[in-house]
Structure 1
Amino acid sequence: MVHVTFITPSGVATTLDGDVGQSVMDIGKRAGVENIIGECGGSAACATCHVHVDPAWIDLVGPPSDDEWDMLDFAHGKRADSRLSCQIRLRPALEGLIVHTPERQG
């Protein structure tokens, strides 16, 4: 299991367990985390699972692919720390990952 904490714009933190290989979007959507919608089901085609990676985790999560970065143009509030949560796959090194959900998607 890998623990991921989602922090909403209002500061509510929810820590969830996920399996190695699962996406951050999958665990957030399954638990009903605010603003993790995932309309495309995780194919990086909609930007409705946009998150901001906590600064302490940027290097470990890694940068988005060029295609993911382009898709993030459709996200509300794209920043340097933006990622599509469907593209972040859990691995042991991400134990304790923290992501912040945006005020809204799209």
Structure 2
Amino acid sequence: MAKIIYIEHNGAHHEVEVKPGMTVMEGARDNGVPGIDADCGGACACSTCHVYVDDAWIDRLPEKDSMEEDMLDFAWNPDPVKSRLTCQIKVTEDIDGLVVHIPERQI
């Protein structure tokens, strides 16, 4: 299991154990973390699982592919460096301790 830390816009923290092979989005959805809507269910067809990756983790995650880059154009207030779609981040033991910040809202 890998611990993923979700921080809401209001500062509330949610530490969740997520099974490797799942996505960061599935970890939030399955554990009731508010602010990750995941309207498309993880198909990278919306931007409602948008987060800002904590500075310490930006260079430690796999790079965004072109499909994720395109969908981030539809996210609320995207950051060109920190924004990611949690449906596109696979959980591995290497991301144990990952910290993501949930935006004020999703579109």
Alignment of 1:13-28 (within 5 A): 13-28=13-28
Distance 1:74 1:7 in 2: 21
> SS in structure 2 opposite 1:39?
coil
> SS in structure 2 opposite 1:15?
strand
Aligned residue pair count: 106
| Deviation at residue 77 of structure 1 after TM alignment | 1.1
Letter of the aligned partner of 2:2 in structure 1? V
Alignment of 1:32-71 (within 5 A): 32-71=32-71
| Deviation at residue 63 of structure 1 after TM alignment | 2.3
Structure 1: 4+ residue segments shifted above 2 A: none
Q: CA-atom RMSD, angstroms?
A: 0.8
Task: Summarize deviations over 1:27-66 as a string: whole Å, max 9, x none.
Answer: 1011221210111110100110001100000111132111
Q: Provide the residue aligned with 1:72 in structure 2.
A: 72
Q: Can you give the 5+ residue segments of structure 2 that lack an aligned partner in the other structure?
A: none
Distance 1:3 1:18 in 2: 6
| Structure 1 residue 91 corresponds to structure 2 residue 92 | yes
> TM-score scaled to structure 1, two decimals?
0.97
Q: Provide the residue aligned with 1:29 in structure 2.
A: 29
> TM-score scaled to structure 2, two decimals?
0.96
Q: Provide the residue aligned with 1:8 in structure 2.
A: 8
Q: What is the aligned-residue identity percentage?
A: 42
